[in-house]
Amino acid sequence: MKIVPIILCGGAGTRLWPVSRESMPKPFIKVGGRSLLQRTWDRARTVPNVVHSAVVTNVAYSYKVAEELMDADSTTSTSILLEPFGRNTAPAIALAALWARAQYGNDVVMLVLPADHLIDSNEAFAAAVQAAAEMASESGRLMLFGITPTYPDTGFGYIEWEAAIGNSRAHKVARFVEKPSAAKADEYLAAGNFSWNSGMFCFTAGAILRSMGALAPELLAAAEAVVANAPLDGPQVAFDAARFEKLPNISIDYAVMEKADNVAVIPCGFGWSDIGSWKAVSEIHTPDAAGNVTDGQAIFVNSKRTYVRSDDRVVAAVGVEDLVVIDTPDALLVAHKSASQDVKEVVRTLREQGNEIYRIHRTVERPWGTYTVLLEGPRFKIKRIEVKPGAALSLQMHHRRSEHWIVVEGVAQVTIGDETVTVNRNESRYVPLGAKHRLANTGKETLAIVEVQCGDYLGEDDIVRFEDRYGRLQ
């Protein structure tokens, strides 16, 4: 048996603003030093018989995903399937299934995992996957992982199940239930034969494609058109946007699972969370005696059950209870734990106001590294630019600004006009308005420079690129 985990890495996660934003969605949030994506990938690789894995993500995150998984200690190869824009789960799974079949044939077992869940026990997870994979492989069933409810949640969908299938852990599915009322949720919890729908699945590529052909033929046809002329065997697989756009925006539950008659569920109790709110994040950590949790620098005075997360500032909480305080360089959230689902309202308001902090962070990730705007004023902008070893910015030119570069860490290779020179720490260079220039790090250490821009217009769009190793020429 060959198993290929398919990790679905998308979604804005507006309920985890201000850390999660469009440019840095929920899978990239770090918990205990590793991102949710990395943790999902780590967990997938504890499963026996994994031969290869794939991450389906937006093309905008391709460098971020590659970097995160490059950092991880890899023994099996990982492919990144790049969606030109976000669709729903059914298109992502259809493309992944066609990709997996092309690599390993109809019998390969796909383990579909959202990139932004946490699970307490990797061992219990691996055992459930093992059971699911065997049944998927032997019977061609579409296997769901159900989560045994621990309280009557009204935010999840539920799966009602019947008697066990033979001697296995799996049950035939009776029906899918949308987010229930509080009374119904109580009832489901008491009944004992309901599970939360986790969004994790296991099936062979052949079985899911067969079901799609029968139950969602237009989806399958559109997906086949997308992969028809795409090379599928590289580390990164790109899809044509015009063909991709024809894929219907539909979930896998709605397109297939709720209609198929060969669906089975394995009820699981391995400590699962979809990290749906800051309250859920706070519950991952071990609190102090007063129930407070700190992720950063916090001072608690007469405060209880409060979660503080701060990058680099000191947060003092005085006489408060049951709060989450999430501090980032340009935005701060103070929310009552019971209201932490309403954070999405803040994001909606910011979007309506045209305030970009709903979308981007002060530190912006680029394929070559990061930049952080330290200060903006009339006719000037100060950035710290960090370039990874071996990376280079594009060869570029600005029409309306000049730039002063001062190297503060590492060694820079600086091209201005026809000249390329090495610039060491504590040395500076001036890039006149209109001059072609390039900043590169040919060393083995990180390069950091301070850039002071001067000009009458300092927008990021004043850039003419002549050469770019990351394909960003327009």
Residue ranges binding a copy of itself (CB under 8 A) = 17-18, 299, 301-302, 310, 313-321, 323, 325, 327, 329-336, 338-340, 342-343, 345-346, 349-350, 355, 357, 374-375, 377-380, 382, 384, 402, 404, 406, 408-409, 425-426, 428, 430, 448, 450, 452, 454
Identity of the residue, 68 or 451, whose beta carbon is nearer to a copy of itself in the bound complex? 451
Spatial CB neighbours of 471, under 8 Å, sequence gap ≥ 6: none
CA distances from 469 to 82, 231, 266, 473 (A): 18, 20, 46, 9
Identity of the residue, 139 or 370, whose beta carbon is nearer to a copy of itself in the bound complex? 370
Spatial CB neighbours of 128, under 8 Å, sequence gap ≥ 6: 145, 169, 266, 268, 270
Identity of the residue, 409 or 468, whose beta carbon is nearer to a copy of itself in the bound complex? 409
Cβ of residue 366: shortest distance to a copy of itself, in angstroms? Answer: 19
Q: What are phi and psi of 20, to 5 degrees?
A: -85, 125
Tokens linked to 173: 């599915």
Is residue 120 within 8 Å of 13, Cβ to Cβ? no
Cβ of residue 277: shortest distance to a copy of itself, in angstroms? Answer: 11
Identity of the residue, 206 or 455, whose beta carbon is nearer to a copy of itself in the bound complex? 455
**How many angstroms separate the most distant Cα atoms in the chain?**
76
Cβ of residue 114: shortest distance to a copy of itself, in angstroms? Answer: 25
> 34 pairs with which residues across the strands?
31
Cβ of residue 334: shortest distance to a copy of itself, in angstroms? Answer: 5
Please give the Cα distance from 103 to 220 (Å, whole number). 18
Cβ of residue 294: shortest distance to a copy of itself, in angstroms? Answer: 13
Identity of the residue, 123 or 342, whose beta carbon is nearer to a copy of itself in the bound complex? 342
Residue type, 340: S
Cβ of residue 325: shortest distance to a copy of itself, in angstroms? Answer: 5
Please give the Cα distance from 229 to 224 (Å, whole number). 9
Please give the Cα distance from 360 to 62 (Å, whole number). 17
Q: What is the CA 130 to chain-centroid distance, rounded?
A: 25
Tokens linked to 33: 């030093």
Is residue 340 within 8 Å of 324, Cβ to Cβ? yes
Please give the Cα distance from 133 to 317 (Å, whole number). 48
Cβ of residue 378: shortest distance to a copy of itself, in angstroms? Answer: 7
Identity of the residue, 226 or 335, whose beta carbon is nearer to a copy of itself in the bound complex? 335
Identity of the residue, 154 or 338, whose beta carbon is nearer to a copy of itself in the bound complex? 338
Cβ of residue 80: shortest distance to a copy of itself, in angstroms? Answer: 32
Identity of the residue, 191 or 433, whose beta carbon is nearer to a copy of itself in the bound complex? 433
Is residue 40 within 8 Å of 27, Cβ to Cβ? yes
Peptide bond into 84 cis (omega under 30): no
